Structure 1
Amino acid sequence: MLFWVPAILRIVGVFLVSAVLAYFFGAIAGLVASIVALCAILTIQLGYLQHLNAWLDHPDSAKLPDGWGAWTDVFSRLYRLRRSDEKHQVELTEWLARFRQAMTLLPDGVVIMDDVLFLEWCNPAAERHLGLQNERDKGMRVTNLIRNPDFMDYIILGRYEQPLTLALKDRKLIMQIIPFENRRQILVTHDATESERIEMMRRDFIANASHELRTPLTVINGFLEIALMQPNLDARTRTSHLTLMTEQGQRMQNLVEDMLTLTRLESIDFPMRPERVNIPTLLEQIRREVEALSAGKHVITLDIDGPDIRGSTDELRSAFSNLASNAVRYTPAGGTIAISWRVGIAGPVFAVQDSGIGIRPEHISRLTERFYRVDKSRSRETKGTGLGLAIVKHVLLRHTAVLAIESAPGQGSLFKVKFPATAVWL
């Protein structure tokens, strides 16, 4: 109604003016005046239509004319609609940028595809997992980019409710396709390589621990059965059995204590409490322990020329003692063992050098693994638990120190613990 009232008033006005002109100047003059006025109105309307058409081709809100008559309201509404649309576009652009940023930071891979598996977008994690490049591969079929028979079977069967476990590019990936909207699909990838490695380490640890405990338990149970079946054993044999049982019991106790130590070192519930570590006193204690273990079979020297450091005395005693006692165990009688504490280029360095049997290069990188043994028969002779260097590794991690190993078969070994300069007690 608001639209027609002004329009009717304009037309009535034109006819009134034409009637007045006809009254004073004749009917022809009035008719001509009405035609001219109507043509002018029509021309104005067509002009505004042309402006509207041009604006629709390039809908920029700043270019809308003010309008006249009914066009004022039309252009005003279009202006408000355009401003609202521009605001929504800005918000949508911001949300899209946030979405892509969030997807970029995700540790899992995300690949967005259409209904025929053409790549539309992927995040950096998916690029690493699948060897894709978003800019290069956009618009290409994913099955042409991921050439794997198991993946192809997964696509063909279309059983997307179950994830697919796939070995791809030295990774173990868990993949799943999730349909969304009418013509879109999301491929999600999760790198389970590290989880699988940790799970394998857990299984190996349990298996090795069980094996290490089973051996002494077998010995103890065997002697107990003999004692039950032969109650009249002579005193010498009984004493020999008890001695062996005590040794095996001590072996189990040492193993359990080392396992508990490892658990404590790895736990966040037992943070290190730094204190001043009196290096001369600590290393003198370790020298006496090593001399007692050697029983005079080795030449042992100690050289201290460095500062005290910040750390845990008990933990460092455990680490340094493990390195020094290993040198005794794997050095034949008559060999030399040199323990030293000096200031290196980057900070203090604890070193244990021996003239022992040495280690082959392929074993060095695995020495700090739990229960890893270079020579299992010799490990039984030395009565080690197989956890000593693993404990050393975790102690050094808590002290931001690193372990460096130099060794060659028949030429002895050199174990260095390098501390940062910030570890020095000032």
Structure 2
Amino acid sequence: MSPRLIFWISNVVRIFLVLAGTALAAYFWGLVPGLIIGFLVLLTMFLIQLVYLQRLGDWLDNPSSSRLPDGSGAWTEVFSRLYKLRRGDEKNQAELTEWLARFRQAMTLLPDGVVIMDDVLFLEWCNPAAEHHLGLSLSQDKGMRVTNLVRSPEFMDYIILGRYETPLTLSFRDRKLIAHIIPFENRRQILVTHDVTESERIDMMRRDFIANASHELRTPLTVINGFLEIASLQPDLDIPTRNAHLKLMSEQGERMQRLVEDMLTLTRLESVDHLLRTEVVNMRGLLEQILQEAEALSAGRHQISLSVEGPDIKGSTDEIRSALTNLVTNAIRYTPQGGRIEICWQSVEQGAKFSVRDNGIGISPEHISRLTERFYRVDKSRSRETQGTGLGLAIVKHVLLRHNAQLFIESTPEVGSVFAVQFPGTVLHQLH
């Protein structure tokens, strides 16, 4: 039986009972008393309906499934249906709230900035990335016009022209951003910002690297090709001249080989696929080998000493040898004949420390912060004389980054330099 049919049957039965009760009262006590009793019963029923209507009105002002009023008769079915509807609404609202929280959490984690504005560019919401990119503050700037917050002529022109199909490249707050406005709904717009500062810097470094590498390779290739052309045009060169040419070509060929090897080493160190393979590094044995190589390179022109008082560490033996050898080799190349070079390995409170001290030509303060840049040279002519590739300290920097170590440089012109490497306690090898 349908609810509607039950509603009408129950109400007809109630009316019939009232009429029957009125007729019985009139039969026993007379017509007037019977009518009065019937009127009072109807008035009571009417007042009960008014009470239920008032309860319903109060509930509608603040609907909640936990405080739904009780009713009798037809009101039982009404309140039951209202309870089901309210429960469904609360469930939908809870799901929407959860999805909104998830959406905001996802927007918070996005690396790109997202700003939601109305049709007249008043700020409604933005994520932390947008706050960082554009200098906004959601708590303070909500409800304010975005064009008053982002004070940039380029951005204003982009808004005025309204050509949103093309993104805007924006230089703002010392950063380079790609901004794009996307209209959605009828009265809202989304401003998306993408920070390309780092990618631009990497692209510039790549271009500089290619340009520098090409320049460094061009010189030895020019020398070799020039001597080969002379040899082909003058096959009767005297032996001393020919030998001198061959010696210079051999030196330039070795220089190119060192340069290519260093570039390949840098590429390998920067590759995410080249994982660090840790092992126990015998520091005493390693430093003794480096000392022998240093003495061979110096050929007796310097006083070189070695002090080993530190522990073994965990890391890549080949990479650490490469980094430390570069530091020692630089000290030899930039220290005049008769100078002193002190190599030291010791335990310190923070872990272990390697240092190379010399009394060489020294470095001016303005150059120190750039020494680990690729192909950066303080004195290009002297660097070529010492057969440096300009990549040694860049290799040192990347090796130390892979071992969580730090490079410290102290230098005074015409006094000397100290290059120190601080290894953290986490890489120390503990003997059991």
Please indicate, yes or no, whether the TM-score normalized by the shorter chain is above 0.5: yes
* SS of match in other structure, 2:6: coil
1:202 corresponding residue in structure 2: 206
* Cα drift, residue 256 of structure 1: 0.5
> Over residues 184-232 of structure 1, what are the superposed CA-to-partner deviations in whole Å (9 max), with x where a residue is unaligned?
2111111111111111111111111111111111111111122222222
1:375 corresponding residue in structure 2: 379
Equivalents in 2 of 1:236, 1:276: separation in Å?
Answer: 51
Matched, 1:291 2:295: yes
2:15 corresponding residue in structure 1: 11
1:122 corresponding residue in structure 2: 126
Structure-2-length-normalised TM-score: 0.95
* SS of match in other structure, 1:99: helix
Equivalents in 1 of 2:75, 2:285: separation in Å?
Answer: 97
Matched, 1:86 2:90: yes
Equivalents in 1 of 2:424, 2:209: separation in Å?
Answer: 31
* Cα drift, residue 325 of structure 1: 0.9
Equivalents in 2 of 1:132, 1:114: separation in Å?
Answer: 16
CA RMSD in angstroms comes to 1.5
Structure-1-length-normalised TM-score: 0.96
* SS of match in other structure, 1:419: strand
* Cα drift, residue 160 of structure 1: 1.6
Matched, 1:72 2:82: no
Structure 1 range deviating more: 267-276 or 359-368:
267-276
Equivalents in 1 of 2:158, 2:400: separation in Å?
Answer: 46
1:314 corresponding residue in structure 2: 318
1:229 corresponding residue in structure 2: 233
Q: Which amino acid aligns with 1:80?
A: K
Q: Which runs of 5+ in 1 are unaligned?
A: none
Which of 324, 338, 343 aligns to 1:339? It is: 343
> Over residues 241-276 of structure 1, what are the superposed CA-to-partner deviations in whole Å (9 max), with x where a residue is unaligned?
111111111111000111111122222333232223
Matched, 1:403 2:415: no
* Cα drift, residue 323 of structure 1: 0.6
Structure 1 range deviating more: 233-242 or 130-139:
233-242
Equivalents in 2 of 1:417, 1:191: separation in Å?
Answer: 34
Aligned residues: 426
* Identical positions, percent: 71
Equivalents in 2 of 1:144, 1:127: separation in Å?
Answer: 14
> Over residues 81-115 of structure 1, what are the superposed CA-to-partner deviations in whole Å (9 max), with x where a residue is unaligned?
11111122222222222222222222221111111
Q: Is the alpha carbon distance of 1:247 and 1:38 closer, same or farther for their aligned partners in structure 2, counting shifts above 3 Å?
A: same
Matched, 1:39 2:27: no
* SS of match in other structure, 2:407: strand
Q: Indicate conservation of the 8 Å contact 2:360/2:414, yes or no.
A: yes
Q: Which amino acid aligns with 1:296?
A: G
Q: Which amino acid aligns with 1:16?
A: A
Q: Is the alpha carbon distance of 1:261 and 1:57 closer, same or farther for their aligned partners in structure 2, counting shifts above 3 Å?
A: same
> Over residues 156-209 of structure 1, what are the superposed CA-to-partner deviations in whole Å (9 max), with x where a residue is unaligned?
111222221111111111111122222221111111111111111111111111
2:182 corresponding residue in structure 1: 178
Matched, 1:244 2:248: yes
Which of 279, 284, 287 aligns to 1:280? It is: 284
Equivalents in 2 of 1:14, 1:341: separation in Å?
Answer: 109
Matched, 1:359 2:358: no
1:100 corresponding residue in structure 2: 104
Equivalents in 2 of 1:126, 1:420: separation in Å?
Answer: 36
Equivalents in 2 of 1:309, 1:379: separation in Å?
Answer: 32
Q: Which amino acid aligns with 2:225?
A: N
Matched, 1:414 2:396: no
Q: Which runs of 5+ in 2 are unaligned?
A: none
2:221 corresponding residue in structure 1: 217
2:171 corresponding residue in structure 1: 167
* SS of match in other structure, 1:140: coil
Equivalents in 1 of 2:116, 2:219: separation in Å?
Answer: 55
* SS of match in other structure, 1:3: helix
> Over residues 259-294 of structure 1, what are the superposed CA-to-partner deviations in whole Å (9 max), with x where a residue is unaligned?
111122222333232223222222222122222222
* SS of match in other structure, 2:190: strand
* Cα drift, residue 26 of structure 1: 2.8
> Over residues 351-394 of structure 1, what are the superposed CA-to-partner deviations in whole Å (9 max), with x where a residue is unaligned?
11111111111111111111111111111111111110111111
Q: Which residues of 2 match residues 257-272 of structure 1 at below 5 A?
A: 257-272=261-276
Q: Which amino acid aligns with 2:209?
A: F
* Cα drift, residue 328 of structure 1: 1.1
Structure 1 range deviating more: 58-67 or 373-382:
58-67
Q: Is the alpha carbon distance of 1:229 and 1:91 closer, same or farther for their aligned partners in structure 2, counting shifts above 3 Å?
A: same
2:354 corresponding residue in structure 1: 350
* Cα drift, residue 423 of structure 1: 2.5
* Cα drift, residue 403 of structure 1: 0.9
Matched, 1:423 2:417: no
* Cα drift, residue 118 of structure 1: 0.7
Q: Indicate conservation of the 8 Å contact 2:311/2:428, yes or no.
A: yes
> Over residues 315-367 of structure 1, what are the superposed CA-to-partner deviations in whole Å (9 max), with x where a residue is unaligned?
22211111111011111122111111122221221111111111111111111
> Over residues 42-86 of structure 1, what are the superposed CA-to-partner deviations in whole Å (9 max), with x where a residue is unaligned?
111111111111111121223322212111111111111111111
* SS of match in other structure, 2:323: helix
Structure 1 range deviating more: 285-294 or 388-397:
285-294
* Cα drift, residue 306 of structure 1: 2.1
* Cα drift, residue 31 of structure 1: 2.4
* Cα drift, residue 309 of structure 1: 2.1
Equivalents in 2 of 1:288, 1:5: separation in Å?
Answer: 111
Q: Which amino acid aligns with 2:106?
A: A
Q: Which amino acid aligns with 1:247?
A: E
